[in-house]
């Protein structure tokens, strides 16, 4: 299946990545190539096969509802490129 | 012999016996690093001060006659996607260029408790996505055996450093072969334990159901030593196994009973470099001479492993890497910020390299509306078929031996423009990640041009002990692991 | 044209746990911004989630209480969308295998019972909070992640509701159930309980569903009811004009009481769900289900029925008492102490206790008058009469003293001793001959005056009923 530049634009949008025109063209070609290779999975009949989403057989893993001390706000906010008054700061969000 | 040429266990013994102090080891090591690192560029960051501080502490303990840990005074390097307090953890990405984690990864805590000395963070393909190290945002690490060649990836930095003796052992991560493949290319021992054997807490996620922390060492004994330290249950990782950790070290030289080795035909077919093929065949002969039984096998669905992997790994990666948005940490665009969506898109466009972008796009594509069943679900089902292949095989054999990679290290730039060819270089290592079983790569020969060749031993779930023994059996009868590159 | 309105509701209830869903940070409301965060709930590189057992058990309990089928196999999925209050830019939720499916809630509207089907009940993590500075020209928003990662239960109905009353009753019934089983404090003012409504209109009698409008940001039941009224009128006027109702997501603006089209791109709705590989599946066996069932108390609907049968109080009163589990418990504790007057106790609680609770904005748990105190008051009432009993009740609230001690202190016991009253009445008649005469002439108000005079003398302690009898007897005897 060929991936069009338009499809690349749509996925880039979903991925929140701005692409240059060159990137769009290159990625369209490369993804077409890779997805073409992936097509070989269709040789297999998997109707009766259960999906394997986990590489572990573990189940029911929980922790007790116990408080642990949080990190200091200063330490946390120091990681941030932009903060103000104890908050993380972002461009105005319009809902 | 110069101190840096010793194995981790040898240097530890010397330090404990006070034949050399930990500080002297660090001193000599950094002298060697100053000499050789410019040729190899294995590190993204070195922590000389931190190393000396810890060395001092270890020496003090020993001088006082206090108990010391299993890695007392051993210099260790960490792949730069393992979080370290106070030391930058960049994942070789611009987006985390200045990120200093406020916490230590589980494995970092463990090796610190055992008195290891962390000397620095090693280079990798950005976010561990790649097979050559060329996807690092900062520089390309060279293969110490031939500096025109790639060291492998994604953990090329760790492998190159261990081979160049600029560290004694290293920890890496293996999502599709990122510990085993560079170890094969650089001629050292790389072990990927069973999924869940070593906590992933603090390993920056690439593909959560495939990622596993592993060891890069000079020999098999050191691999056992390092795994002994980092294995075990961790309450901060829901996928961390509760299975007890056996003693890997004490009877590593005893392979009990009749050893049955599976030889899967799918791993010796088309695309396999003849020198690599014959080196592995020779190794199998050595096993045979040692009384092992070789059993021909088929793992019929392994031919689909790469396709399956690139759906699952990219799907998980696309979501794992969604958090890099410039809000809470990491790179933020210098351009004006009038709109949150533009900010995200710019931060990520500026912060990620092409391979990461390519995989995020592919991952979002296979998960997007209308494609989930055709791609992600399909791949999850094929993954189960591959697991069944291995389960059937392990009913008949104790371990499976194959080449680690179809070719020896390739030249820098050789495959970088063709992502699919690059992906196919992981064809033999990927199945272990899909299935979750342990695998180890050991050196088993050299090409005519002097590049190392690696042999892969795969084991049953949680049977690291067996593959370490099988690897040791081979190592005991050979000297490939002792060869050193000339670094000028 | 006449339209039928078709509505469904998604309810988000924050679960009542000490710590967050995946880390040990506190869930406490109202702390300084970003003081309850850690690498896990901020989604720092390398962190992993570990599920809070209590949160999962609460969800299971809720699913059972809403009569859901419980999945033997459940797991968690990542729901991807970019929003600055979502640390990982995906929300760990459930999509393919929810904890509970196909449940129902029975509601009563205008005396008629109706069953609202529950599509599913699932567990997910809460997002942080965005603050939009009021200062004019501020071109930024602020993010507080204290709330990020608080366990959140989502309850999704089928589009079964057809009127504002049904929606109101559903919300109240659901809230009541969640409070009864103790999984959420349901404090709407703190955002613990929030709603999203889907509303579509169709021509009456038609089977075809109209285009669905989803409304987010409904932080109170009042807002839900307002938005429904607003949407019904908005959508029907569009349809009347022959225009289409757009399938879209709108936001409710509580200040201006209007719904507005969402401007963010989130309406694209491609959540790219896939199984969360950092968590392992949860298998729920029959034993676990049975064990959880034993922790579910009697739910409001059956309690109400039982109150009617057991205590012979009206269905209406039983409804009020069971509307609040704590109130129902209070009532039953009272009845346990004094079996002979459930009806009277119920009246006291519904009229007096509730009024005081409302005035004092407190709940029955913190109410100073304990069930034992109320029962003692009701027991002593025949001796002091209703009007004094009400005064004593107020005194109990103000002082925390028991009814018997107040009555004793203030010597409030009514004079019911006829011989003692006889003497006083005779004296009052002697002192007020004019009034006695007037009564004899048929002037009824004269009696009121005389009783008033007697009350003055006795400081209100005379039993007015007995007093009236004595006066009538004496005055009619005198006139003979
Ligand atoms: Zn937290």
Q: What ranges do the domains of chain C cover?
A: 3-291, 300-410, 418-479
Count of structural domains within chain A: 1
Residue A53 forms part of a structural domain: no
CA distance readout (Å), C260 to A66, C88, C164, C212: 41, 28, 20, 15
- Kindly state the percentage of chain C with pLDDT values over 90: 63
Is 3.40.50.720 the CATH number for B3-259+397-482? no
What is the rounded radius of gyration, in angstroms, for the C-alpha atoms of chain C?
31
Q: What would the pLDDT profile of C197-231 be if each residue is shown by its tens digit?
A: 999 999 988 888 889 999 988 989 999 999 999 99
- Asked if the model's pLDDT at residue C265 lies above 60, the reply is no
DSSP codes joined into one string, B224-264: HHHHHHHBS--TT-TT---SPPP-SSTTTT---S--EEEEE
Contact call for B101 and C39, based on CB within 8 A:
yes
Q: What would the pLDDT profile of C68-85 be if each residue is shown by its tens digit?
A: 999 999 999 999 999 999
Q: How confident is the model at residue C267 (pLDDT cuts 50, 70, 90)?
A: very low
Which residues sit opposite C312 in a β-bridge? none
Q: What would the pLDDT profile of C82-123 be if each residue is shown by its tens digit?
A: 999 999 999 999 999 999 999 999 998 888 989 999 999 999
DSSP codes joined into one string, B374-408: IIIIHHHHHHHHHHHHHHHHTTT-SEEEEESSSSS
Which residues sit opposite B34 in a β-bridge? none
Please state, rounded to an integer, the average pLDDT across all residues of chain B.
96
Give the DSSP H/E element, type plus range, for residue B445: strand B439-446
- What pLDDT was estimated at residue C412? 67
Among candidate residues C221, B236, B274, B373, the one with its CA nearest the CA of residue A61:
B236
Q: Is B210 in contact with B175 (CB distance < 8 Å)?
A: yes
Q: What would the pLDDT profile of C448-461 be if each residue is shown by its tens digit?
A: 888 888 888 877 77
Please state, rounded to an integer, the average pLDDT across all residues of chain A.
95
Q: What would the pLDDT profile of B186-215 be if each residue is shown by its tens digit?
A: 999 999 999 999 999 999 999 999 999 999
Residue A75 forms part of a structural domain: no
Which residues sit opposite B445 in a β-bridge? B453
Q: Is C245 in contact with B203 (CB distance < 8 Å)?
A: no
CA distance readout (Å), C305 to B303, C248, C298, C364: 66, 42, 11, 22
Give the DSSP H/E element, type plus range, for residue C165: helix C164-181
* Cα three-residue angle B70-B119-B147, rounded to 5 degrees: 115
Distance between CA atoms of C296 and C290, rounded to whole angstroms? 10
Put residue C102 in one of left, alpha, beta given phi > 0 → left and psi -120 to 50 → alpha. Answer: left
- Asked if the model's pLDDT at residue C39 lies above 60, the reply is yes
- Asked if the model's pLDDT at residue C413 lies above 70, the reply is no
Distance between CA atoms of C45 and C433, rounded to whole angstroms? 98
Q: Is B123 in contact with B92 (CB distance < 8 Å)?
A: yes
- Asked if the model's pLDDT at residue C480 lies above 50, the reply is no
Contact call for C45 and B322, based on CB within 8 A:
no
Catalytic residue among B14, B36, B79, B472: B79
Kindly tell me the sign of the dihedral angle through the C-alpha atoms of C294, C295, C296, C298.
Answer: positive
Give the DSSP H/E element, type plus range, for residue C211: none
Distance between CA atoms of B327 and A91, rounded to whole angstroms? 10
Q: How many C-alpha atoms does B80 have within 13 Å on its Cβ side?
A: 35
Domain C418-479: assigned CATH number? 1.10.10.410
Distance between CA atoms of B264 and B267, rounded to whole angstroms? 6
Range of the domain at A39: 5-43
What is the rounded radius of gyration, in angstroms, for the C-alpha atoms of chain B?
21
Spans in chain B with pLDDT lower than 70: 335-337
> Which of B99, B319, B374 is the best mutation test for C, with the most CBs of C within 10 A?
B319
> What CATH number does residue A39 fall under?
1.10.20
DSSP codes joined into one string, B97-159: TT---SS--HHHHHHHHTT-EEEEEE--SGGG--SSSTT-SS-PPPBTTBTTB---SSSHHHH
Residue A68 forms part of a structural domain: no
Q: What are phi and psi of B73, to 5 degrees?
A: 75, 5
Q: Is B154 in contact with B124 (CB distance < 8 Å)?
A: yes
Q: How confident is the model at residue A50 (pLDDT cuts 50, 70, 90)?
A: very high
Q: Which residue of A has its CA nearest to B331?
A: A81
B196 inside 8 A of chain A by CB:
yes
Residue A90 forms part of a structural domain: no
CA distance readout (Å), B425 to B136, B139, B306, C144, C440: 18, 21, 9, 45, 121
Residues of chain A neighbouring B315 (CB-CB closer than 8 A)? none
CA distance readout (Å), B486 to B41, B42, C104: 16, 16, 75
CA distance, residue A5 to nearest chain B CA (Å)? 12
Q: Which residue of B has its CA nearest to C143?
A: B327
Distance between CA atoms of A52 and B387, rounded to whole angstroms? 9
B345 is catalytic: no
């Amino acid at each position: 299946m060929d991936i069009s530049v338009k499809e690349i634009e749509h996925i880039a949008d979903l991925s929140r990545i701005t692409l240059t025109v060159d990137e769009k063209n290159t990625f369209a070609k490369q993804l077409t190539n890779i997805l073409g290779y992936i097509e070989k999975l269709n040789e297999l009949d998997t109707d009766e096969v259960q999906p394997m989403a986990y590489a572990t057989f573990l189940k029911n893993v929980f922790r007790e509802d116990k408080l642990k001390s949080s990190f200091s706000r200063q330490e946390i906010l120091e990681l941030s490129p932009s903060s103000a008054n104890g908050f993380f700061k972002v461009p105005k969000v319009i809902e | 012999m110069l101190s840096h040429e010793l194995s981790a266990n040898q240097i530890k013994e010397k330090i404990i016996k006070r034949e050399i102090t930990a500080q002297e080891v660090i001193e000599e090591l950094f002298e060697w690093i100053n000499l050789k690192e410019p040729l190899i560029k294995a590190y993204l960051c070195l922590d000389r001060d931190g190393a000396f501080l810890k060395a001092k502490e270890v020496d003090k303990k020993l001088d006082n006659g206090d108990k010391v840990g299993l890695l007392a005074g051993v210099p260790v390097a960490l792949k730069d996607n393992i979080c370290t307090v106070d030391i930058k953890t960049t994942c070789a990405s611009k987006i985390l260029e200045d990120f200093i984690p406020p916490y230590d990864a589980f494995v970092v805590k463990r090796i610190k408790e055992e008195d290891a000395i962390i000397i620095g963070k090693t280079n990798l393909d950005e976010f561990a996505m790649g097979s050559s190290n060329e996807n690092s945002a900062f520089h390309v690490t060279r293969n110490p055996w031939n500096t025109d060649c790639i060291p492998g990836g994604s953990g090329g930095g760790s492998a190159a450093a261990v081979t160049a003796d600029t560290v004694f052992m290293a920890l890496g991560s293996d999502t599709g072969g990122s510990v085993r493949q560079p170890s094969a290319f650089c001629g050292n021992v790389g072990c990927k334990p069973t999924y869940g054997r070593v906590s992933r807490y603090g390993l920056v996620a690439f593909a959560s159901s495939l990622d596993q922390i592993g060891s890069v060492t000079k020999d098999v004994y050191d691999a056992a030593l390092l795994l002994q330290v980092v294995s075990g249950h961790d309450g901060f990782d829901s996928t961390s196994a509760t299975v007890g950790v056996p003693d890997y070290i004490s009877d590593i030289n005893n392979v009990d009973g009749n050893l049955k080795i599976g030889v899967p035909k799918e791993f010796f077919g088309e695309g396999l470099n003849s020198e690599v093929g014959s080196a592995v065949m020779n190794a199998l002969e050595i096993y045979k001479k040692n009384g092992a039984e070789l059993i021909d096998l088929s793992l019929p669905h392994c031919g689909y492993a790469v396709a399956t992997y690139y759906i699952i790994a990219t799907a998980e990666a696309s979501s794992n890497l969604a958090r890099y948005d410039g809000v809470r940490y990491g790179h933020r665009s210098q351009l004006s910020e009038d709109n949150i969506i533009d900010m995200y898109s710019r931060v990520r466009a500026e912060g990620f390299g092409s391979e990461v972008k390519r995989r995020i796009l592919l991952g979002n594509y296979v998960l997007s509306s209308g494609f989930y069943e055709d791609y992600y679900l399909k791949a999850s089902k094929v993954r189960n078929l591959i697991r069944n292949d291995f389960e059937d095989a392990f009913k008949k054999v104790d371990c499976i031996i194959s080449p680690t990679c179809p070719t020896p290290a390739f030249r820098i730039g050789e495959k970088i423009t063709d992502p699919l060819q690059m992906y196919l270089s992981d064809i033999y290592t990927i199945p272990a990640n899909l299935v979750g079983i342990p695998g180890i790569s050991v050196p088993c020969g050299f090409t005519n041009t002097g590049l190392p060749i690696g042999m892969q031993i795969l084991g049953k779930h949680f049977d690291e002990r067996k593959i370490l023994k099988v690897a040791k059996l081979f190592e005991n009868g050979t000297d490939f692991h002792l060869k050193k590159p000339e670094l000028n | 044209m006449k339209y039928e309105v078709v509505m469904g509701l998604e309810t988000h209830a924050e679960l009542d746990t000490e710590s967050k869903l995946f880390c040990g940070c506190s869930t406490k409301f109202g702390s300084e911004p970003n003081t309850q965060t850690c690498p896990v709930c901020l989604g720092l590189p390398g962190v992993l989630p570990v599920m809070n057992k209590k949160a999962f058990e609460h969800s299971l309990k809720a699913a059972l209480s809403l009569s859901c089928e419980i999945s033997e196999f459940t797991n968690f999925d990542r729901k991807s969308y970019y929003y600055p209050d979502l640390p990982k830019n995906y929300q760990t939720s459930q999509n393919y295998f929810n904890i509970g499916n196909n449940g129902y809630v029975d509601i009563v509207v205008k005396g008629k019972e109706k069953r609202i089907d529950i599509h599913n009940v699932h567990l997910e993590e809460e997002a942080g909070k965005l603050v939009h500075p009021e200062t004019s020209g501020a071109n930024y928003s602020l993010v507080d992640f204290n709330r990020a990662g608080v366990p959140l239960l989502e309850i999704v109905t089928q589009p079964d509701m057809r009127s504002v009353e049904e929606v109101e009753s559903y919300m109240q019934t659901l809230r009541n159930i969640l409070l009864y089983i103790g999984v959420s404090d349901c404090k709407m003012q703190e955002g613990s309980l929030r709603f999203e409504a889907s509303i579509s209109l169709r021509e009456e009698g038609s089977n075809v569903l109209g285009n669905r409008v989803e409304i987010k940001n409904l932080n109170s039941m009042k807002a839900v009811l307002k938005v429904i009224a607003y949407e019904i009128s908005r959508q029907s006027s569009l349809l009347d004009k022959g225009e289409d109702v757009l399938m879209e997501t709108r936001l409710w603006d509580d200040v201006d009481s209007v719904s507005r089209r969402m401007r963010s791109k989130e309406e694209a709705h491609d959540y790219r769900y896939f199984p969360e590989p950092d968590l392992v599946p949860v298998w729920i066996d029959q034993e676990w289900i049975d064990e959880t069932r034993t922790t579910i108390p009697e739910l409001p609907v059956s309690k109400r029925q039982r109150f009617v049968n057991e205590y012979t109080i009206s269905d209406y009163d039983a409804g009020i008492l069971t509307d609040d589990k704590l109130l129902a418990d209070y009532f039953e504790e009272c009845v346990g102490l004094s079996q002979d007057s459930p009806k009277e106790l119920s009246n006291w609680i519904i009229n007096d206790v509730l009024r005081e609770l409302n005035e004092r904005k407190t709940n029955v748990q913190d109410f100073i008058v304990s069930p034992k105190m109320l029962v003692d008051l009701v027991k002593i009432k025949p001796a002091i009469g209703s009007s004094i009993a009400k005064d004593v009740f107020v005194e109990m609230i103000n002082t925390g003293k028991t009814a018997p001690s107040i009555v004793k202190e203030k010597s409030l016991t009514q004079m019911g001793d006829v011989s003692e009253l006889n003497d006083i009445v005779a004296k009052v008649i002697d002192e007020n001959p004019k009034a006695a005469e007037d009564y004899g002439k048929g002037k009824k108000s004269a009696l009121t005056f005389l009783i008033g005079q007697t009350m003055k003398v006795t400081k209100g302690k005379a039993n007015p009923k007995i007093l009236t009898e004595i006066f009538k007897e004496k005055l009619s005897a005198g006139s003979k």
